[in-house]
Structure 1
Amino acid sequence: MLAAEDTDGRVVVILANSDVPDSVELARHYAEARKVPEANIIALPMPAKETITWRDFVDTIYKPLQAELVQRKWIDAITADEEDELGRVKYAISGHTIAALVVCRGVPLRVANNPAATAAGAAGGGGPFQANNAAVDSELALLAASGYRTAGFLANPLFNVKEPSSLQRAGVVITGRLDGPTPEAARALVDNALKAEHDGLIGRAYVDIGGPHKQGDQWLEETVKQLAPLGYDLAVDRARGTLPASARLDAPALYFGWYAGHINGPFLEKGFRFPPGAIALHIHSFSAATLRRPDAGWTGPFVARGVTATVGNVYEPYLQFTHQPHLLLEALLAGKPLGEAAFYSLAALSWQAILVGDPLYRPFAADVESQWQRRADLPPELVPYLVIRRMRLLAAAGKTDEALAVGQAQLRRDPALPLILAIGRMQLDAAKADAAGSAEKTEAAKRTLGVLSLFQSIRPVDAPMFAEGAALLQEAGETKAGYELFSRLPELPGLSKAVRTGLLKQGPAIAKKALDFTQAARWESEYKELTAPPPPKPPPPPRPDSAPAAVTAPKK
């Protein structure tokens, strides 16, 4: 666990809203968890709303916080006793000793655009880059850079720099936010980070690539390359659009994807939760426009569902100025704490991007071997995923037989669904790679996957895994068994309409392999009914051009 004393003599500063009791309580919880002196909590009176004006930002947050940091000599500065046009005090700053600034829920999220305060000569030369709306945290990252312009963005000197110099570090304060739809969700960001540092990051990895721009897809393809050698059970979706509700999404320790305005697909299914320590990044322009709602954007909803680290944008940043997923992962794998990794992956400051999570969090602090030695102490629902990771690493080293032996030993203790699928897939892959022993290995896969048919009941949340198992059974030559297993899924009690629709889309191909063309046609018909556009509304009745003349009786 990275504690405050492990930051090379630099200090961790915690910012809270003194007018919001939950904000101060969260600050104290973080200080205790990370062994930060309580004196490092700076609680200031400020507005409690998410969006504030530049005037409020400067008067209630930026100016008093900067003054306090200078007074405590955490920012090395000399004041000129003058203010700029925004009311910021002018300092001659030579550096700082702040390892991280932790912003607590209750501190405003974003600063609204103020055209009257827009300075000439903004980066980008005009257009949208003349605006000065911004993330509060992105402005606080420049507390040690006095007098910078607020129109447009500033280049981040830490971007894509593996070993920044002291001069590059001097102008940037690493800033992260503990925030979410509820105080409890924000507090969990701290607790889950500590848990993952102790137990290790356990689960599966997912990358959803089919977005609207080539550059973003390239970033995510690079992310896939970095994930592949780690041993995580990796699922990559390259279809256009986001993951469908029927996609498998169990135990997502790592998720990177794009592109939709609001959280959707399997993330919305009942019972979905991220495992402790999970890192999730969804690229979208307004993914963090609010953190107060569990259904708006992506950043707040991710936190509501138990993520430990995520990023987002409070206003339109433009793609090249969002956090780049492959750079974020690269820095984390190199052992950098979350805050440094986030700033390594971000090209612009005084702009729109934020980090939500403990900036001291190191997700890969516990290596696979130490996790394996302590597997008896892990939560039982996560052990199968650790076993799968060990299997995949052994197989990658050419030790497939040893990998299967490890998996089968665990399977005898606990016939967990993810493990059945992983072993069956590995056996089928081994059969394809070994022509001489193909038949024997295929029979082994049939026996492993055949266990799926013995499950007396299937939970709706597990339907995507059983659908994958049905496809694997058919791949192994058990066409009828795979079809019979799949046939149980569309009619499961409690299955959401979205998941059922996705299953009905998959079903016809599975039924046709089993030569049941009647069922295939029935599923195709049901799918068309569920996805058909609603009938157009009838047009309103025509209105007369003018009211009819009044009828009066003739005079006598």
Structure 2
Amino acid sequence: MIGAVGHAPAMRVFLFLLAVLPAFAAAPDPASVAILFNKSIPESAKLAETYRVARNIPVANLVGLDLPKADDIDRAEYDSKILTPLRQEFDQRAWWKLGKNQEGLTLPVENKIRFLAIMRGVPLRVRNGPAQTPGTNLPKEFAGHNEASVDSELAGFGIQGLLLEGPVNNAYFKSDKSINDANMPFLVMVSRIDADTWQTCERMLRDAIQPEKSGLWGRADIDIANKIKLG
């Protein structure tokens, strides 16, 4: 590791990074962000409002669902409490337009919401349940498994008719474009504000926002892999 301070070649690399990082770190349009929280937990609603104000997200983009107060839910609960109500919210708010792809799947062909921020209080995991598609020709490692992360399920929740067992290819993997420019309205970028306590969640927000206002100061080290001759 070569310290950036006192080494001209490393400093040039550091300054180059400072120049290009803003292009990759541009904040999303607040109107393109929806916030999902558990309205049966007051702290979840409060955290959602704190996040909304901090990021200047429209009030209309808050989505509160009456969810179980549990980290793990079964597939039926996910479908009835999260998936179906969230699709209905997107329909009623005219956030997306649905169509069909070449495989005949119904999915968003236009989507005003590109980011979904999930607050603490929304369940974390979908438990494994009975096979939904018996007879599917899957490797034994995947056969009979439909457990999932809630967040990963919500990344493509607008796509209807996907098999529940087995993996699903990530169409955005290795893309060098932003989600807004990738022409993939059927996907949303999912993030989560979660920790062991509500106080920690609020601190996460404060700690992320403060450096954006005042700057982040400190020593930076750049690993140049010995590709630049020093002297």
Higher share of residues assigned helix: 1
70 and 133 in structure 1: CA distance in 2 versus 1, 3 angstrom threshold = same
In the alignment, which of 161, 165, 177 is matched to residue 163 of structure 1? 177
In the alignment, which of 134, 140, 157 is matched to residue 143 of structure 1? 157
In the alignment, which of 113, 126, 137 is matched to residue 139 of structure 2? 126
Greater shift, 29-38 or 196-205, is seen at 196-205
In the alignment, which of 221, 225, 228 is matched to residue 223 of structure 2? 228
**Conserved? CA contact 1:46–1:60, under 8 Å:** yes
- Confirm whether residue 69 of structure 1 aligns to residue 90 of structure 2: yes
Task: In structure 2, list runs of 5 or more residues that go unmatched.
Answer: 1-21
- Alignment partners' CA distance in 1, 2:211 and 2:142: 39
CA deviations on 1:449-480 (whole Å, 9 max, x unpaired) are xxxxxxxxxxxxxxxxxxxxxxxxxxxxxxxx
- Alignment partners' CA distance in 1, 2:88 and 2:73: 20
- Alignment partners' CA distance in 2, 1:164 and 1:34: 19
- Alignment partners' CA distance in 1, 2:38 and 2:31: 23
- The aligned runs of 1:382-421 (5 Å cut-off) are none
Secondary structure of residue in 2 paired with 1:63 = helix
Higher relative contact order (CA 8 A, sep 6+): 2
**Conserved? CA contact 1:17–1:46, under 8 Å:** yes
CA deviations on 1:183-240 (whole Å, 9 max, x unpaired) are 01112221111123332274677xxxxxxxxxxxxxxxxxxxxx514xxxxxxxxxxx
- Alignment partners' CA distance in 2, 1:120 and 1:137: 27
- Alignment partners' CA distance in 2, 1:202 and 1:138: 35
Give the corresponding residue for 1:194: 209
Q: Which amino acid aligns with 1:25?
A: K
- Alignment partners' CA distance in 1, 2:63 and 2:171: 27
144 and 201 in structure 1: CA distance in 2 versus 1, 3 angstrom threshold = farther
Give the corresponding residue for 1:104: 119
How far did residue 397 of structure 1 move?
9.3
- Alignment partners' CA distance in 1, 2:42 and 2:111: 29
- Alignment partners' CA distance in 1, 2:158 and 2:123: 20
Secondary structure of residue in 2 paired with 1:115 = coil
Give the corresponding residue for 1:175: 190
Secondary structure of residue in 2 paired with 1:116 = coil
- The aligned runs of 1:368-383 (5 Å cut-off) are none
Secondary structure of residue in 1 paired with 2:114 = strand
**Conserved? CA contact 1:78–1:93, under 8 Å:** yes
CA deviations on 1:56-92 (whole Å, 9 max, x unpaired) are 011011110111012212121269xxxxxxxxxx845
- Confirm whether residue 17 of structure 1 aligns to residue 38 of structure 2: yes
TM-score by length of 1: 0.33
- Alignment partners' CA distance in 2, 1:180 and 1:147: 33
What is the number of equivalent residue pairs in this alignment?
Answer: 198
Sequence identity (%): 29
TM-score by length of 2: 0.75
How far did residue 159 of structure 1 move?
0.5
Give the corresponding residue for 1:35: 56
Secondary structure of residue in 2 paired with 1:176 = strand
- Alignment partners' CA distance in 1, 2:41 and 2:217: 33
CA deviations on 1:41-65 (whole Å, 9 max, x unpaired) are 1001010100000000110111101
How far did residue 171 of structure 1 move?
2.0
- Alignment partners' CA distance in 2, 1:49 and 1:204: 41
Give the corresponding residue for 1:358: none
22 and 163 in structure 1: CA distance in 2 versus 1, 3 angstrom threshold = same
How far did residue 94 of structure 1 move?
1.4
397 and 167 in structure 1: CA distance in 2 versus 1, 3 angstrom threshold = closer
181 and 67 in structure 1: CA distance in 2 versus 1, 3 angstrom threshold = same
Q: Which amino acid aligns with 1:187?
A: E
Secondary structure of residue in 2 paired with 1:22 = helix
Secondary structure of residue in 2 paired with 1:185 = helix
- Alignment partners' CA distance in 1, 2:74 and 2:219: 42
**Conserved? CA contact 1:62–1:143, under 8 Å:** yes
Q: Which amino acid aligns with 1:137?
A: D
How far did residue 163 of structure 1 move?
2.1
- Alignment partners' CA distance in 1, 2:133 and 2:123: 21
6 and 119 in structure 1: CA distance in 2 versus 1, 3 angstrom threshold = farther
Task: In structure 1, list runs of 5 or more residues that go unmatched.
Answer: 80-89, 206-226, 230-395, 399-432, 434-556
Q: Which amino acid aligns with 2:77?
A: D
- Alignment partners' CA distance in 2, 1:110 and 1:197: 32
CA deviations on 1:354-404 (whole Å, 9 max, x unpaired) are xxxxxxxxxxxxxxxxxxxxxxxxxxxxxxxxxxxxxxxxxx896xxxxxx
Q: Which amino acid aligns with 1:129?
A: F
CA deviations on 1:241-285 (whole Å, 9 max, x unpaired) are xxxxxxxxxxxxxxxxxxxxxxxxxxxxxxxxxxxxxxxxxxxxx
Give the corresponding residue for 1:445: none
How far did residue 142 of structure 1 move?
0.6
